[in-house]
Structure 1
Amino acid sequence: MRRLKKILVFIVIPAFIIFAGVTAWGYFVLMPKYNEVMCHNTGPEFPLKELIGFDFDDSDEIYVDSSKLTASENQLVVLSPDGHETQFRVEVAANDAQRRRGLMHRRRLDKDSGMLFLFWDVKERSFWMKDTHLPLDILFLNRDGTVAKLHENAEPRSKASIHSGSRVWAVLELNGGTARDLGLVPGGGRVIHEAFESPEQEDDL
């Protein structure tokens, strides 16, 4: 019993006093200083991203410089009904992860760029504009690159389904208004890209 009292007096009680003192010091001294610093340093220069690991504003925003898209798969030509050819440098979404991501979280897209979605089979397709901040022209394309359906200026961030209306091979997304500028209409205009067959090969479908 006497030994237990010594333990309480010389170990437990001092440890408790130290713990209580540190806690009180942290609460009454450190916390006010921390709050003051946070209140005065949460502007653009404050390294909030480094502290929490992400930004609250546009943390996933992506920009791709189209001038750096130099591979052959990135080269695409849109042939207008009048025969005029317009060159584009596009990103290619050729797998499920890339197609799901699409052009989400983009706030700018170079004039001569876009995204080509390749599915490698011919089926009906549906798209939406969730988390997509730019108006887009959505071109549903046949196996030979001809325009099967065109949806102009898709509404940003809309969750409405945009359906192909028929079986298509690929989809091309461009800046809103591009299709009209090029005179594209369903059945008029064609996309030329290494992934498409020539019109003569379409009979293989």
Structure 2
Amino acid sequence: MKRAFYFLLIFTAVLFISGSCKQEAKKSVSTAPVTFTKEGTLSVYRAESDTLLAELDIEIAESDYETQTGLMYRESMEQNQGMLFIFPEEAYHSFYMKNTRFPLDIIYIDKDLMVTSIVTNAQPMNETGLPSENPIMYVLEVNAGLTDRWQLENGDKIVFHRLISD
């Protein structure tokens, strides 16, 4: 009986040691790059003169998932592209750059499609909140530096059109 006990003890130890020596296979998760999907067009106008400042192709973020994810995990965006966030009602909103890999200008826009505040050169991967100064219904994200190039000001207007989906 003693012999069977020792045999069982040694057998268990060997199994334990051999099981712990196995190397775990490395798990690799590869994700497909997130690409731009044109869902509309957007024009930016000077408020006083109705002068066209810029025309963009836009991707629209409207669902909870889309507005929470935004431009995260993308490597870049073309100069003539932007992402328009549309909220169901006007309210204060705050954005941050978590998992966003390139700098952005963030334009806060009210329900009347008027620019109310601008954050320039928001830095990649920064989780600091960037709040709107007023209640807003829309946010336009574009590549950093574009709002300076356009000389965009509070009070300027946007007009956007959705593409008709099949």
TM-score of the alignment, normalized to the shorter chain, above 0.5: yes
Deviations 1:46-71 (A, max 9, x none): x8334xxx4xxxx7x774322xx24x
| Unpaired runs of at least 5, structure 2 | none
Which residue does the alignment assign to 2:101? 133
- Identity across aligned pairs (percent)? 26
Determine helix, strand or coil for the equivalent of 1:98: helix
Q: Is the 8 A contact 1:63 1:109 kept in 2?
A: no
Confirm or deny that 1:161 pairs with 2:132: no
| Unpaired runs of at least 5, structure 1 | 39-46, 195-205
- Taking the aligned partners of 2:105 and 2:32, their CA distance within structure 1 comes to 19
Q: Is the 8 A contact 1:148 1:187 kept in 2?
A: yes
Higher helix share: 1
Q: Is the 8 A contact 1:136 1:173 kept in 2?
A: yes
- Taking the aligned partners of 1:107 and 1:185, their CA distance within structure 2 comes to 28
- Taking the aligned partners of 1:78 and 1:134, their CA distance within structure 2 comes to 23
- Taking the aligned partners of 2:34 and 2:13, their CA distance within structure 1 comes to 55
Deviations 1:65-97 (A, max 9, x none): 22xx24xxx11222343325513131x221323
- Taking the aligned partners of 1:20 and 1:159, their CA distance within structure 2 comes to 49
Which residue does the alignment assign to 2:83? 115
Aligned partner (choices 48, 63, 86) of residue 55 of structure 2: 86
Higher strand share: 2
Determine helix, strand or coil for the equivalent of 1:149: strand
Report which stretch shifted further, 114-123 or 102-111. 102-111
- Taking the aligned partners of 1:172 and 1:191, their CA distance within structure 2 comes to 12
* Structure 1 position 119, deviation (Å): 0.9
Which residue does the alignment assign to 2:34? 64
* CA distance 1:80–1:20, shift in 2 (3 Å): same
What count of residue pairs does the alignment treat as equivalent?
158
- Taking the aligned partners of 1:185 and 1:87, their CA distance within structure 2 comes to 17
Aligned partner (choices 165, 185, 193) of residue 161 of structure 2: 193
* Structure 1 position 109, deviation (Å): 2.4
* CA distance 1:108–1:86, shift in 2 (3 Å): same
CA RMSD in angstroms, aligned pairs only: 3.1
Aligned partner (choices 48, 51, 69) of residue 26 of structure 2: 48
Which one has the largest radius of gyration? 1
> Structure 1 length as normaliser, TM-score?
0.62
Which residue does the alignment assign to 1:77? 42
